[in-house]
Amino acid sequence: MHDNDREEELVASGRGKWSKAGVPHKGWHCVDIEDLGEPQVECGMCESQTIRYVHHMEHPSYPEILEVGCVCAGHMEGDIAAARTRDDSMKSRTGKRKRWLSRKWRISAKGYPWIRADGFRVTVYPRGAGWATTISSEERALLQHSRKNYQTEDQAKLAAFDQITRVLAREA
C-alpha cells in the first residue's frame, strides 16, 4: 500500500494524537521541512507511520513543533495539496541534495562558506554553540535566517537546502 494511503487511514481512524485531548486538529502551519534520507522517525501526529520526508508543524496554542508525514501535515494545515507539493519537491530534489555538500562552496570575506543556487544565495556561519544559515533571493525580495542552530556546518548547509525546497514548493 502506498505510504500516503496508509497515513490517510491512520488519520481517519484517529491514531495517536488525532484522538488525544488538547491537540488541535486544524490551524497548524509548516515551518520547516527535512529529508532524512530514509524512513527513520515516527510521525509525531498519528504516531504510527515511519517517515522520511518530515514536515515540521507549528500551532499557536500547542507548545511544541510536531514532526509529521505528508498526509498528517495536509490535514493539520487544512491544505492537502500544499503538503503534497512540499513532499513532491523534496522527492524531486533528492539527487541534488545528495550532491549539495560536495558542491563548490566559496568563502566569504568574513570567512564563511556560501554558494549561489536556484536563484538563492546561501551562507552558513557559526551562531551560539552551533551553525546557522541565511538564504536570500533578490528577485523574491527574500531574506531568511534559520530559526535553529545546527550542530555542524554540514547540517546547516542541508537545512538551507531544505529551506530553499520549501520556498520553491510554495511557489509551485
Which residues would be at the binding site for Zn ion (CB under 5 A)?
A: 7, 43, 45-46, 49, 69, 72
In whole angstroms, the minimum distance from the beta carbon of 69 to Zn ion comes to 4
User: 7 or 153, CB closer to Zn ion?
Assistant: 7
User: 39 or 119, CB closer to Zn ion?
Assistant: 39
Closest CA relative to residue 168, chosen from 125, 135, 123: 135
Cell numbers linked to 106: 566559496
3-class state of residue 132 by DSSP: strand
Cell numbers linked to 24: 488541535
User: 57 or 124, CB closer to Zn ion?
Assistant: 57
By the 10 Å C-beta count (0-12 exposed, 13-18 middle, 19+ buried), 61 is classed as: exposed
In whole angstroms, the minimum distance from the beta carbon of 47 to Zn ion comes to 7
In whole angstroms, the minimum distance from the beta carbon of 147 to Zn ion comes to 23
Closest CA relative to residue 26, chosen from 74, 84, 87: 74
User: 66 or 158, CB closer to Zn ion?
Assistant: 66
Helices (H), the chain: 3-12, 70-77, 80-92, 94-100, 153-171
In whole angstroms, the minimum distance from the beta carbon of 112 to Zn ion comes to 37
